[in-house]
């Protein structure tokens, strides 16, 4: 059985009440000689890497800046670059905040450290969670948790409008950042790339639509339930954001299968569950679940077709049947197939018997 191995890291803490000792033998926590001694000792002990924390907050005590703590946190990159010159093998890892540091700047600093140390640089990525730290930066990068969701939604709304109007390929992250009045690095804080923005835009819309569907309450009469559901679907489809989503999906689904996968993952299950839930009890044992699903898919597909024609060909709406008439015919057709009259049922049974005899 192979031996299990662990990785050992040596952490050099900042100045605080647990690390400052009055004994002179304790040494300094800000002099480079202390860092060098610590790093060399860890390297001789075969530790894998040295780890430095980072503190961006200006600490206060009784309303005044707590100087001892501030000077006890030398710049991480400066210290690690200096340690690269006095060590040979140990990894040099620093905690660098991704909320308030610009991506290009961080990438350049780590690339420089990795070059100077011959490949020994490491990054402990953190984000800031407290407003106190955010107030130390002019661009106010910090947002409370609820505000982060609002900002993300603003980005998705802007992306939906741009993708629908100009097409996915013609929208860059620069244009999207400008539309949201964000810096490009701030945009990348929320989304990894443009593809992630697209999928998040669609998923957020379908999640909201699933919530609307969940709130729908059927009546005791199946016909009334189907009419109310159809009117809800067509009413929602007339919202501007729905038209945007339809145009995006029509343009991109053919070359991006992940869009269809996202739809059936986010919206498909609640739609199917809701429809079967209020139709199934009315049909009893007349049909199998597979047949019920086929009938519902035909019903929803017809609604989607009418909605699509209304959205995509607005100038030709005069040629479409009036919505009330369309819904009435659709509901009657569903009921005729799902709950046929006794005479229709008898004819269907006779046809099935003749088919069986012929076989």
Query: Each residue of 99-156: pLDDT tens digit?
Result: 777 777 888 999 999 999 999 999 988 766 555 566 666 554 555 666 667 778 888 8
Tell whether 221 and 346 lie within a shared domain: yes
The answer to whether position 208 is within a domain reads yes
Dihedral angle over CA of 69, 75, 78, 81, nearest 10: 90
3-state secondary structure of 9: strand
The answer to whether position 322 is within a domain reads yes
In 3D space, the residue among 267, 249, 272, 297 whose CA is nearest the CA of residue 206 turns out to be 267
Residue reference for tokens 């189907």: 226
pLDDT score recorded for residue 306: 83
Dihedral angle over CA of 71, 33, 9, 121, nearest 10: 80
- Whether 155 contacts 180, CB under 8 Å: yes
Q: What CATH code is carried by the domain that includes residue 84?
A: 3.20.20.30
Tell whether 129 and 30 lie within a shared domain: yes
User: Can you give the residue range of the structural domain that contains 13?
Assistant: 9-134
The answer to whether position 306 is within a domain reads yes
Q: In the listed set 134, 154, 176, which residue is the last one of a domain according to the structure?
A: 134
In 3D space, the residue among 209, 199, 98, 207 whose CA is nearest the CA of residue 156 turns out to be 199
Residue reference for tokens 């647990």: 18
Tell whether 117 and 211 lie within a shared domain: no
The answer to whether position 105 is within a domain reads yes
Paired with 60 in beta bridges are 65
pLDDT score recorded for residue 138: 55
| pLDDT per position as a tens digit, 180-192 | 887 777 787 778 8
Tell whether 120 and 217 lie within a shared domain: no
Cβ-based neighbour number of residue 279 at 10 Å:
22
Segment holding 64, helix H or strand E? strand 64-65
pLDDT score recorded for residue 344: 45
Using a CB cutoff of 8 Å and minimum separation of 24, what contacts does 292-297 make?
A: 292/338, 295/334, 295/337, 295/338, 296/272
Residue reference for tokens 């610590």: 38
The answer to whether position 171 is within a domain reads no
Tell whether 214 and 321 lie within a shared domain: yes
In 3D space, the residue among 187, 213, 341 whose CA is nearest the CA of residue 278 turns out to be 213
pLDDT score recorded for residue 144: 61
The answer to whether position 258 is within a domain reads yes
Tell whether 125 and 208 lie within a shared domain: no
Length of the chain, in residues: 359
Residue 275 to residue 292: CA distance in whole angstroms:
9
Tell whether 91 and 209 lie within a shared domain: no
In 3D space, the residue among 272, 292, 294 whose CA is nearest the CA of residue 284 turns out to be 292
Cβ-based neighbour number of residue 232 at 10 Å:
15
Tell whether 214 and 347 lie within a shared domain: yes
Residue 197 to residue 216: CA distance in whole angstroms:
29
Tell whether 123 and 241 lie within a shared domain: no
- Describe the strand order of the beta sheet including 9-12 as a list of residue ranges: 9-12, 49-52, 91-97, 121-126
- Whether 183 contacts 105, CB under 8 Å: no
Buried-exposed string 47-64: b where 16+ CB fall within 10 A, e elsewhere: bbbbbbebbbbebeeeee
Tell whether 206 and 349 lie within a shared domain: yes
Residue 224 to residue 55: CA distance in whole angstroms:
63
The answer to whether position 161 is within a domain reads no
Q: Give every residue of the chain whose pLDDT is below 50, as ranges.
A: 70, 140, 343-344, 348, 359
Cβ-based neighbour number of residue 140 at 10 Å:
10
What does the DSSP 8-state code read for residue 4? P
Q: In the listed set 134, 151, 182, which residue is the last one of a domain according to the structure?
A: 134
Tell whether 218 and 106 lie within a shared domain: no
Q: What CATH code is carried by the domain that includes residue 245?
A: 1.10.357.10
Q: In the listed set 119, 134, 149, which residue is the last one of a domain according to the structure?
A: 134
Residue 27 to residue 21: CA distance in whole angstroms:
9
Structural domain count of the chain? 2
pLDDT score recorded for residue 348: 47
The answer to whether position 30 is within a domain reads yes
């Amino acid at each position: 059985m192979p031996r299990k191995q662990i990785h050992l890291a040596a952490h050099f803490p900042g100045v605080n009440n647990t690390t400052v000792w009055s004994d002179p033998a304790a040494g300094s926590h800000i002099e480079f000689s202390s860092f060098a001694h610590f790093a060399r000792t860890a390297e001789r002990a075969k530790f894998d890497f040295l780890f430095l924390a980072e503190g961006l907050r200006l600490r206060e005590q009784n309303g005044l800046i707590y100087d001892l703590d501030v000077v006890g946190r030398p710049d991480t990159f400066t210290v690690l670059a200096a340690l690269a010159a006095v060590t040979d093998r140990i990894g040099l890892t620093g905690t660098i905040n991704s909320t308030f540091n610009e991506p290009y700047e961080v990438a350049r600093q780590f690339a420089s450290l990795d070059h100077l140390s011959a490949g020994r640089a490491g990054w402990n990525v953190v984000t800031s969670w407290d407003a106190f730290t955010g107030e130390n930066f002019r661009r106010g990068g910090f947002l409370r948790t609820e505000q982060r969701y609002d900002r993300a939604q603003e980005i998705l709304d802007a992306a939906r409008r741009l993708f629908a109007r100009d097409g996915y390929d013609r929208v860059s992250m620069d244009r999207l950042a400008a539309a949201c009045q964000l810096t490009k690095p701030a945009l990348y804080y929320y989304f990894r790339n443009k593809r992630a923005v697209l999928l998040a835009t669609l998923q957020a819309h379908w999640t909201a639509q699933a919530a609307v569907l969940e709130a729908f309450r059927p009546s005791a009469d199946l016909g009334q339930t189907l009419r109310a559901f159809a009117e809800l679907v067509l009413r929602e489809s007339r919202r501007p954001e729905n038209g945007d989503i339809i145009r995006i999906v029509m343009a991109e689904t053919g070359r991006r299968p992940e869009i269809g996968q996202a739809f059936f993952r986010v919206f498909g299950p609640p739609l199917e569950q809701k429809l079967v839930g209020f139709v199934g009890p009315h049909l009893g044992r007349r049909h199998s679940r597979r047949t019920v699903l086929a009938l519902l898919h035909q019903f929803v597909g017809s609604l989607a077709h009418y909605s699509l024609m209304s959205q995509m060909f607005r100038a030709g709406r005069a040629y479409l049947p009036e919505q009330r008439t369309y819904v009435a015919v659709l509901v009657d057709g569903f009921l005729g197939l799902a709950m046929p009259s006794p005479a229709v049922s008898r004819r269907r049974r006779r046809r099935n018997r003749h088919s069986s005899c012929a076989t």
